[in-house]
Structure 1
Amino acid sequence: MFVSYKWLQEYVDLSGVTPEELAEKITRSGIEVEGVERKSEGVSGVVIGYVMEREQHPNADKLSKCLVDIGAEEPVQIICGAPNVAQGQKVPVATVGAVLPGNFKIKKAKLRGEASHGMICSLKELGIDSKLVSKDYSEGIFVFPTDVEVGTNALEALDLDDAILELGLTPNRSDCLSMLGVAYEVAAILGRDVQLPKIEVASTSEKTEDYISINVEAKEDNPLYVAKVMKNVKVAPSPLWLQNRLMTAGIRPHNNVVDITNFVLLEYGQPLHAFDYDQFGSQEIVVRKARSGEELVTLDDAKRTLTDSHLVITNGSEPVALAGVMGGADSEVTEDTTTVLLESAYFAPQTVRQASKDHGLRSEASTRFEKGVDPNRVVLAADRAAELLVQFAGAEMLEGDVVANTLTIEPSTVRITLDKINASLGTSITVEEVINIFERLQFQVNVTGTTFEVIAPTRRGDISIEADLVEEVARLYGYDRIPLTLPAGESQPGGLSPYQLKRRISRKTLEGAGLNQAITYSLTNDVKATQYALVKRDPVKLIMPMSEERSNLRLSIVPQLLESVSYNVARQNDSIAFYEIGSVFLKEEGQELPYEIEHIAGALTGLWMHHPWQGEKKAVDFFVAKGILEELFAKLGVSKNIQYKPVQLDGMHPGRTAEILLKDEVLGFVGQIHPEVQKELDLKETYVFELNAGTLFGEEKLPLQYNSIPRFPSITRDIALVVNSSVLAGDIERTIEEAGGSLLKEVAVFDLYEGEHMEEGKKSVAFSLKYFDPNRTLTDEEVVKAHDKVLAAVKEKVGAELRG
């Protein structure tokens, strides 16, 4: 909302308060003033001149040589290129030495051999946005009315010496979408009175009801409709002051009739519409819902196709306006209009909002209707417009109004106690101070002891509960006067919970390993909802899905990650490493809502390492994916409790997939997706993993332990064991660790052989064993004794034979 400081002074005494000081006070009271603009700042030397003579430039077809009286001792010659300059006009003149917007300085010049002492200006050259300039002056210089005085300041005559306050209004403060609303607010802040316009207009003996009748069929959407008829209207340009007011507020002047309706909209916050009565088409106004497929050509010459959710004003048969949004072109006020049908109404906010959204039309009128207008200003605004039409358009107002009224909106009554106010604000405000605040706001207040019964006027539709009154008291008492208090009780420093810390460690570890975080849809289709699920459940179906592809809550993250990988690979991004920490949703028997738990998932394909200079390439494989997880488990301190076992899973490669166990409980899986799935998604070898983060993060991290660097030498023994092909290396390793006792410190697999020199159904697995004691040097006998126990154990438990 753009608020003119000079215009505001007509309603509130602003003496002693500069625009900048006023902006500060308004902001402190709760409405942000986003800026104060002085349009004439830096501009000087512009006066009103009178074109005494105008003749064609002797050396240029498109230039005029003008003799202009600028109020000085002698008239000056000015060369002007505007097509509309003419003798007898009063125009804005930038004299020699003047400064125009953009620090453009006017100097003496010669144009095609003729001296020019100044410049006759257009409004655009004076800093007014071209879209706000009336069509009459959009292609040339501006011409003042004849009653202005030559030699006076042109910037003052155009109100360019004004200061414009831009209010950043929140949706609840629609009362300040009008000058009167802002006036009430400023008067409350300054503790001064509001001077409302005094409406006085005489009517003719003819009655409005003889010219028009109203039939409102959609009473819920239009509970109040007021019509006036004005005869003998003379359509002409508006007075200069009125045009200035509109341009200041960001509205382009058109003619006196349209400009007056826009002026009243800005003044009262009540949108009006003027129809050409002779082009209306009947003597009956019918307000109804549009018929589906019905068409209306609006004022912007666009043909609008209506639906049965739109409210229209009709002449009984054809729509003439889209209610609250825009009028129709057929009944538009033109230069030939002599009789005006004036509309003022209250339209339901939701109805106007729907029509405005459907047709992409956002107007000053629709903005106010959408947020709710004051029902008590509907008639007042019509009377004010009629007064101005009589005064500035020579109109004659017919006696009476035609009104259709089923409106039942009443002022809001809210009760609150002084204790509630002070307890909410932490203040010690007195009863007298609270009464003073409500009276400054012009709220009716009745006091019983320390209880206030407040009746908020209809212009303040945002006042409905106790908290609203607390806010009003706080902002006018002064937010800066409310004492500062520290929270009572013991305070603890903020920090991450153990669960949050482990989630953050996981993200850092995976990103440090080269994976990029992905965020995918939690919604999927019937097929993908159950794929790769760690826990088999029926998926949770949405009652009203936006599409079949987004109709179920997911049980696994992997299908969505594979979609992302496929999308990237299709766009020649061949090497992908994604991870996601997100929720999956499990249906619980007897529960309306699903159980939500976090999972960690990843997907990798393409090259994992590529060093062109060294000529090195390494493709993603099972051990890359497993190595990433081993690093994650190490960072979380749970490595010792992790086991890997081969597993057969739907959608996964039958020989390259492992189940991950945490203390014998299934934590997740890692492996290559099935070749058939890869083919469907047009992928090369792709590896995925998924873990139950809730279980993983819930596992307590083992205490960190430090060991001193060994002072004594270690002894290493390598063994190659021949076992059945079905025996797992991990089982052999665990057997060795259990049998090795305290002297065995490290066990590692370093070779696997299955070839022509090995018996069918057998394989050779080689291990490196390291023995040492941190307190002494081991003897061969001690190592042999421990080593023999290992060999005996692997033979007994896994059937291993030492390879010769």
Structure 2
Amino acid sequence: MNVSYQWLKEYLDLSNVTPEALADRMSRTGIEIEDVAIPETGLKKIVVGHAVEVVDHPDSDHLHICQVDIGEEELSQIVCGAPNIAAGQKIIVALPGSRITGNAKIKKGKMRGQVSNGMVCSLAELGFSEKVVPKKYADGIYVLPENAVPGEPVFPYLAMDDAILELSITPNRADALSMRGVAHEVGAIYDQQPKFPSFELTEDKTDSVENYIKVAVEDSEDAPSYNVRIVKDVKIAESPMWLQTKLMNAGIRPLNNVVDITNYILLEYGQPLHAFDYDQLQSKEIVVRHANNGEALTTLDGEERLLTSEDIVITNGSIPVALAGTMGGLDSEIEDHTVTVAIEAAIFNPISVRKTAKRYNLRSESSSRFEKGINPATIATAGDHAAALMAELAGGTVVAGVASQSSLEVKDSIVSITLDKINRSLGTTISTEEVKVIFDRLGFKAEEKDGLFEVAIPPRRWDIDIEADLVEEVARIFGYDNLPSTLPISAAQPAALNDKQRLVRHTRRFLEGAGLSQAISYVLTTPEKAAQYMMRESEATQLEMPMSEDRSTLRMNLLSGLLDDASYNKARKNKDVMLYEIGRVFYKEVTQTLPVEEEHLAGVLTGSLLEKDWKGQPQKVDFFVMKGILEGLFAAYGLTEKVTFVSDNQREGMHPGRTAVLYLGEKEIGFAGQIHPLAAKEYDLDETYAFELNIQAIVEAEKEPTIYEAIPKFPGMTRDIALLVDETITNQQLVDLIYKKGGNFLVSVRLFDIYQGKHIEDGKKSMAYTLSYLNPTATLVEEEVSKAFDKVTNALVEEYQVVVR
């Protein structure tokens, strides 16, 4: 919000406080000031001029030669191209040598042969945004009021000598979205009570609002208070200069006296108002209700809106004439011929206003305030003040009475807190009297007994509800920089990693040593990607108000995020991608309110493991490369139960012939395999392999203790065996049997060759293994190894009908 320093001075004595000092104090007490700007900065030699004579340029169809009084003995000739220039106007003149916006320098010159001693300026040339320039002067120069004195600097007339403080208002401090709210805040900082000018409302007792309108609210939750005043015999005209400049400095475009008054009240009280052309309502009834699905309303921006039943609308008893708290209807807007005005002062359901504003992209000053909250104590006062100003500035007559329906009970709320709680929270030794003074400065009535404060919070501070809020208020006014800067005292605890932290760190080191790089993906994703590659059935956990549909659902897998990362890399010519991620997924049962978090490990490998160089050809990633990395990782964990790979041809999104389920003992802990070619195509990836594990299950699994052994003193022995087996028999089956029958001295089994093709019959494959034997306490004897090896050979022939080659 933009706050006028000069406007604040109408309520408080700031004669000894500079705008910069005020900004610093406010920032240090909780409301951040983004900037302090003085509009006239950088401009010079720009004065009031009086256009005495205006004639057309003889050599141009749009230029005018103006004789302008700039407060000197002789008139000054200026050539001007503005279409609205006319004799008798008070105008803005940039003298020769002046500087206008953009640091442009104005020089004496000639235009089509005619001398021009300066420039007649529009507001845009003084730095005003096009959004705030009054519509009447949008395509031409600005005309100053009649009382402007030629030759005087123009800045005071346009309030450009004012300082504008740009406040960054947090949602909990919506009370500062009004000049009165800011005045209360500044008053608390400088120990002053703001003084707000009174106004006099004169009603026409011979006429009653009942002769014009009655109001009804179908659901009091939609509009807890709805009030309408009638002002008749108004004359629509341009607003006075003081009102226009206040609006422009606040970033609002002046339109006409009636609309400008409603915007002025919005700025002063924080209370949005709406002015209807009463005659265009074509009814003596206003009904506030929910819209019917498909009901149409053309809003002030000229767009026809098809409404939904979630929208609250203001109707004339039958058809909508405004979207409550958001925007009025085009058919009932204030126009030049308006004679009677209906002023709406209300409070609407903030959630409904927010949803409507978002649905139709109609965020405005009004909707912003309704969303965050308004002061219920000033609803009626704001409407009365607006009516009084319309009588004063638009020549209207205020009809007696207010058409109203309200269920609001406006009263102070009571919050209790002890002095001990305040000092304990802030680490201070503030006395009872000091706390009383702080509450008094804030405008809170407080009664204290035995260290317990009963604090009455006025309706203008609806953000204060609990003890912690009062602690914050005391801290703000006492001064954050006055709080003691002592460190908390606690017993020193020796630092150590827990089991999970150790395992996660080890996993990272191992995978990075194997060539994978860590990735961190978004936890939020689309509903479709969240449900991919799930390791168990689960309901999706969706955000109620996501920032985008792409980030609306908590993930239930890590793989989809890693596939996005791999796709991103491939699109940028990085085809060799090996990534891993350790993170949480979120599962939820139908009966659960909150999801269960589970730690997972996932990886994606695509492209080549080794690059082509002078030593050899590139090596493409395949299932066995990935399986080898996982087996090495599991071996490093030292799990007491064995991890086995079991073929899986049913997993959605995975290749049916190149995917395995991973079991730790008999518990499923994950899967590994090739991403289905159709799924890979959706991510624009080539042949890609991936795995995902429940690392939480591995953390909780039993592990062998680490036992250090000396290097064996005795030599080992090896035996090689080549087997012709059915192609349906897996390596895991053969290895398990070899270990089972291999004897006490068999320490490892390694597959070193697989062959299918020429000289091998169809349906068969050749598999060759090296069996390593070692006796750590004695030298092996040939007979022991041969005997154990024969047992293995016989078992293989008997169990799987292999042929030993």
Q: Do the two structures share a fold, i.e. TM-score over 0.5? A: yes
Whether the aligned pair in 2 keeps the contact of 1:739 and 1:789 (CA below 8 Å) is no
Whether the aligned pair in 1 keeps the contact of 2:745 and 2:773 (CA below 8 Å) is no
Question: Which of the residues 697, 700, 715 maps onto 2:699?
Answer: 697
1:38-61 CA-to-partner distances (Å, cap 9, x unmatched) read: 221111111111112222223332
Partner Cα separation in structure 2 for residue 278 and residue 526 of structure 1 = 53
Look up the match of 2:449.
448
Seq. identity, %:
46
Partner Cα separation in structure 2 for residue 589 and residue 179 of structure 1 = 49
Whether the aligned pair in 1 keeps the contact of 2:741 and 2:792 (CA below 8 Å) is yes
Look up the match of 1:778.
none
1:228 Cα deviation after fit:
2.2
Q: Which moved more, 1:652-661 or 1:288-297?
A: 652-661
Matching of residue 475 in structure 1 with residue 484 in structure 2: no
Matching of residue 249 in structure 1 with residue 250 in structure 2: yes
Partner Cα separation in structure 1 for residue 379 and residue 27 of structure 2 = 29
Change (3 A) 1:730 1:170: same
Change (3 A) 1:753 1:324: closer
Change (3 A) 1:705 1:473: same
Look up the match of 1:145.
145
Look up the match of 1:271.
272
1:353 Cα deviation after fit:
2.8
Look up the match of 2:376.
375
Matching of residue 98 in structure 1 with residue 118 in structure 2: no
Partner Cα separation in structure 2 for residue 562 and residue 77 of structure 1 = 72
Look up the match of 2:305.
304
1:326 Cα deviation after fit:
1.9
1:23-76 CA-to-partner distances (Å, cap 9, x unmatched) read: 111111111112112221111111111112222223332222222121133322
Amino acid at match of 2:174: S
Partner Cα separation in structure 2 for residue 290 and residue 756 of structure 1 = 78
Q: Which moved more, 1:206-215 or 1:562-571?
A: 562-571
Partner Cα separation in structure 2 for residue 590 and residue 142 of structure 1 = 66
Partner Cα separation in structure 2 for residue 654 and residue 313 of structure 1 = 61
Whether the aligned pair in 2 keeps the contact of 1:25 and 1:189 (CA below 8 Å) is yes
Whether the aligned pair in 1 keeps the contact of 2:280 and 2:332 (CA below 8 Å) is yes
Partner Cα separation in structure 2 for residue 339 and residue 675 of structure 1 = 72
Amino acid at match of 1:369: F
Amino acid at match of 1:478: G
1:606 Cα deviation after fit:
5.3
Look up the match of 2:426.
425
Look up the match of 2:650.
651
1:666 Cα deviation after fit:
6.8
Whether the aligned pair in 2 keeps the contact of 1:603 and 1:688 (CA below 8 Å) is yes
Change (3 A) 1:453 1:751: closer
Partner Cα separation in structure 2 for residue 594 and residue 498 of structure 1 = 24
Look up the match of 1:728.
734
Alignment of 1:170-181 (within 5 A): 170-181=170-181
1:739-769 CA-to-partner distances (Å, cap 9, x unmatched) read: 27xxx9x986655678999999996745386
Partner Cα separation in structure 2 for residue 172 and residue 757 of structure 1 = 81
Q: How many residues align?
A: 781
Change (3 A) 1:164 1:757: closer
Change (3 A) 1:370 1:494: farther
Matching of residue 739 in structure 1 with residue 734 in structure 2: no
1:122 Cα deviation after fit:
0.5
What SS does structure 2 have at the residue aligned with 1:154?
coil
Look up the match of 1:767.
770
1:615-639 CA-to-partner distances (Å, cap 9, x unmatched) read: 72433323211222244346xx336
Whether the aligned pair in 1 keeps the contact of 2:285 and 2:316 (CA below 8 Å) is yes
Whether the aligned pair in 2 keeps the contact of 1:299 and 1:329 (CA below 8 Å) is yes
Look up the match of 2:318.
317
Whether the aligned pair in 2 keeps the contact of 1:764 and 1:803 (CA below 8 Å) is no
Partner Cα separation in structure 2 for residue 202 and residue 591 of structure 1 = 61
Partner Cα separation in structure 1 for residue 2 and residue 680 of structure 2 = 61
Look up the match of 1:53.
53
- Structure 2: runs of 5 or more not aligned: 545-550, 798-802
Whether the aligned pair in 2 keeps the contact of 1:349 and 1:370 (CA below 8 Å) is yes
Look up the match of 1:24.
24
Partner Cα separation in structure 1 for residue 684 and residue 181 of structure 2 = 64
1:423 Cα deviation after fit:
1.6
Look up the match of 1:779.
none
Look up the match of 1:457.
458
Alignment of 1:613-692 (within 5 A): 616-633=617-634, 637-638=636-637, 647-651=646-650, 670-671=672-673, 687-692=689-694
Change (3 A) 1:241 1:528: closer
What SS does structure 1 have at the residue aligned with 2:371?
helix
CA-based RMSD: 4.5
Change (3 A) 1:373 1:747: closer
Change (3 A) 1:719 1:752: farther
Look up the match of 1:202.
202
Amino acid at match of 1:93: V
Partner Cα separation in structure 2 for residue 576 and residue 511 of structure 1 = 13
Whether the aligned pair in 2 keeps the contact of 1:52 and 1:69 (CA below 8 Å) is yes
Partner Cα separation in structure 2 for residue 97 and residue 649 of structure 1 = 84
Partner Cα separation in structure 1 for residue 380 and residue 162 of structure 2 = 31
Whether the aligned pair in 1 keeps the contact of 2:12 and 2:187 (CA below 8 Å) is yes
Partner Cα separation in structure 1 for residue 352 and residue 555 of structure 2 = 38
Change (3 A) 1:717 1:615: closer
Partner Cα separation in structure 2 for residue 505 and residue 374 of structure 1 = 58
Whether the aligned pair in 2 keeps the contact of 1:520 and 1:561 (CA below 8 Å) is no
Partner Cα separation in structure 2 for residue 527 and residue 98 of structure 1 = 62
Partner Cα separation in structure 2 for residue 261 and residue 764 of structure 1 = 88
Matching of residue 155 in structure 1 with residue 155 in structure 2: yes
1:328 Cα deviation after fit:
1.9
TM-score scaled by structure 2? 0.84
1:405 Cα deviation after fit:
3.1
Change (3 A) 1:404 1:180: same
Look up the match of 1:232.
233
Change (3 A) 1:516 1:106: same
Amino acid at match of 2:695: A
Partner Cα separation in structure 2 for residue 681 and residue 66 of structure 1 = 69
1:668-702 CA-to-partner distances (Å, cap 9, x unmatched) read: 55556799999999998664444441243346586
Amino acid at match of 1:790: V
Change (3 A) 1:497 1:14: farther
1:93 Cα deviation after fit:
0.9
Partner Cα separation in structure 2 for residue 42 and residue 684 of structure 1 = 60
Whether the aligned pair in 1 keeps the contact of 2:745 and 2:775 (CA below 8 Å) is no
1:266 Cα deviation after fit:
0.6
Alignment of 1:346-745 (within 5 A): 346-492=347-493, 497-507=498-508, 509-510=510-511, 513-514=515-516, 517=519, 519=521, 539-541=537-539, 577=578, 579-582=580-583, 597-604=598-605, 607-611=608-612, 616-633=617-634, 637-638=636-637, 647-651=646-650, 670-671=672-673, 687-698=689-700, 703=706, 719-721=719-721, 725=725, 728-729=734-735, 732=738, 738-739=744-745
Partner Cα separation in structure 1 for residue 648 and residue 145 of structure 2 = 88
Change (3 A) 1:486 1:302: same
Partner Cα separation in structure 2 for residue 680 and residue 716 of structure 1 = 52
Look up the match of 1:80.
80
Change (3 A) 1:172 1:620: same
Change (3 A) 1:288 1:647: closer
Partner Cα separation in structure 2 for residue 27 and residue 142 of structure 1 = 36
1:402 Cα deviation after fit:
3.2
1:772 Cα deviation after fit:
12
Partner Cα separation in structure 2 for residue 347 and residue 468 of structure 1 = 25
Q: Which moved more, 1:404-413 or 1:520-529?
A: 520-529
Partner Cα separation in structure 2 for residue 510 and residue 620 of structure 1 = 15
Whether the aligned pair in 2 keeps the contact of 1:208 and 1:228 (CA below 8 Å) is no
Whether the aligned pair in 1 keeps the contact of 2:755 and 2:765 (CA below 8 Å) is no
Amino acid at match of 1:11: Y
1:121 Cα deviation after fit:
0.6
Whether the aligned pair in 2 keeps the contact of 1:90 and 1:143 (CA below 8 Å) is yes
Whether the aligned pair in 2 keeps the contact of 1:45 and 1:94 (CA below 8 Å) is yes
1:103 Cα deviation after fit:
1.4
What SS does structure 2 have at the residue aligned with 1:157?
coil
Whether the aligned pair in 2 keeps the contact of 1:511 and 1:517 (CA below 8 Å) is no
TM-score scaled by structure 1? 0.84
Change (3 A) 1:737 1:477: farther
Change (3 A) 1:493 1:300: farther
1:240 Cα deviation after fit:
0.9
Amino acid at match of 1:728: L
Whether the aligned pair in 1 keeps the contact of 2:387 and 2:398 (CA below 8 Å) is yes
Amino acid at match of 1:479: Y
Q: Which moved more, 1:587-596 or 1:450-459?
A: 587-596
